[in-house]
Amino acid sequence: MSIPLSNLTLSPATPAQILESHRRTYEEWGISFAGGMSMEQYLEREKRTKELECARDGKMQVWVLVKRDDPDSLDFLCSCETFKREAWVVHQTSGKGQPCTGYGIASVFTPVRNRGKGYAKHMMRLLHWVLAKREYLDQLEWPSEEWGEKPIVSRTEQEGSHGGDALFSALWSDVGPEFYARCGTGIREEGGWQVQDPHILIWNVGDAHSSTVSGEWEWLNEQEVHDLWKEESERMKLELEERARESQTSICTFLPDNGVADFLIDRKRMGWMRMEHVPEYWGIRHSTARLDQFATWTIERRKDGSWVMVITRLRGDAEAIIQAIIAGFAKKHGVSAIECWGVGDTERDDHLPCFKWYGPERSTLCFNEK
């Protein structure tokens, strides 16, 4: 029997609960990862994640749905993670770009014994109430009779560092479009995270004929792509203002600097370190067009054992860039396909980008690739 929702609340996890949440998620994301990780490797990776630029200084938080009368229990009902990110917004009213805070949500997990009781749904609904800016939440009705007291934003020692300031939040759904869309700020099953632009373009490396790459391309290592993302973030801010002029809505974006895009490579490190030819390069840039013509990527191993490159940012002539990557990199490293998200006409059915905006007006999340 499920516990009444009013007896439950969302709480920032204690260190012991964080460890327990990682132990639990191992069965979902550790065993199946790129040919498998041991529990020790998985826990080590999670520990290391907390020290990365995108997570440290309170930017990452594990949340647990707990009984109000036993908030520190290791028998919590479900858990998830949030990553606080510097983001950029152009409000339709002003047309000028400005910084804002957005949150990326990950690792939503209910252990099998607790599934089907509405716990994950409730956790996600409460998450809005800890992440969103107070001024937006103040306009909303809190269903106190059904849900009891509001959750607290954070433990006192972290006050102000995580939550209570989001203009938007986003996640990539592997459980279809409905589940997160139904997790809104109230009882009605609507107004949650909406799928936005789940398109994909795929190049099969085996189909490509190109085998030589001209000298006009530069290959970029991890440090070089890190440096490139700083510059690129500045360009994205300017481009957002340009796009806002044609847009009917406010528009916003996450930015790839401050370790956000680095994380996409690092997260998969234990996988690609097992490739026969361990990749040294994570980006390509045209030597004269430079930031007008470049791509960056990460590499994932799929369940069938194949290696897939996912483009994390691309600017310029996609076809020319992809052909250069195929000829100069993908074939050599045994990459079977290159995926570019957020472009093309094909809709994918997993990793669906889902977006929740907390402001009063309508908005769109831009630069929605990986």
**Cα 249 from Cα 226, distance rounded (Å):** 31
Six-digit token string for 265:
């490579």
Which of 109, 217 has the CB closer to ligand COA?
109
Q: Which of 117, 237, 268, 269 binds ligand COA (CB under 6 A)?
A: 117
Are the beta carbons of 308 and 201 closer than 8 angstroms? no
CB of 300 to ligand COA, least distance (A): 16
Specify the amino acid at residue 246: E
Binding mask 23-62 for ligand COA (x = CB under 6 A): -----x----------------------------------
Which of 120, 330 has the CB closer to ligand COA?
120
Six-digit token string for 302:
């799929």
Find, among 203, 362, 232, 206, the residue nearest to 293 by Cα: 232
Phi and psi torsions of 191, nearest 5°: 80, 20
With binding defined as CB under 6 A, does residue 118 bind ligand COA? yes
**Cα 196 from Cα 180, distance rounded (Å):** 12
Host H or E run for residue 163: none
Number of residues engaging ligand COA in binding (CB under 6 A)? 17
Which listed range, 125-133, 174-182, 195-203, 301-309, lies at the site for ligand COA (CB under 6 A)? 174-182
**Cα 305 from Cα 52, distance rounded (Å):** 28
With binding defined as CB under 6 A, does residue 108 bind ligand COA? yes
Residues between 67 and 86 that touch ligand COA (CB under 6 A): 78
Which of 110, 293 has the CB closer to ligand COA?
110
**Cα 118 from Cα 184, distance rounded (Å):** 13
Binding mask 279-318 for ligand COA (x = CB under 6 A): ----------------------------------------
Which of 120, 338 has the CB closer to ligand COA?
120
CB of 111 to ligand COA, least distance (A): 7
Half-sphere exposure of 324 (CA within 13 A, CB side): 21
**Cα 182 from Cα 173, distance rounded (Å):** 13
Q: Which of 110, 253, 293, 368 binds ligand COA (CB under 6 A)?
A: 110
Which of 198, 283 has the CB closer to ligand COA?
198
CB of 190 to ligand COA, least distance (A): 12
Host H or E run for residue 174: none
Length of the chain, please? 370
Positions touching ligand COA (CB under 6 A) are: 28, 78, 108-110, 115-121, 173-176, 179
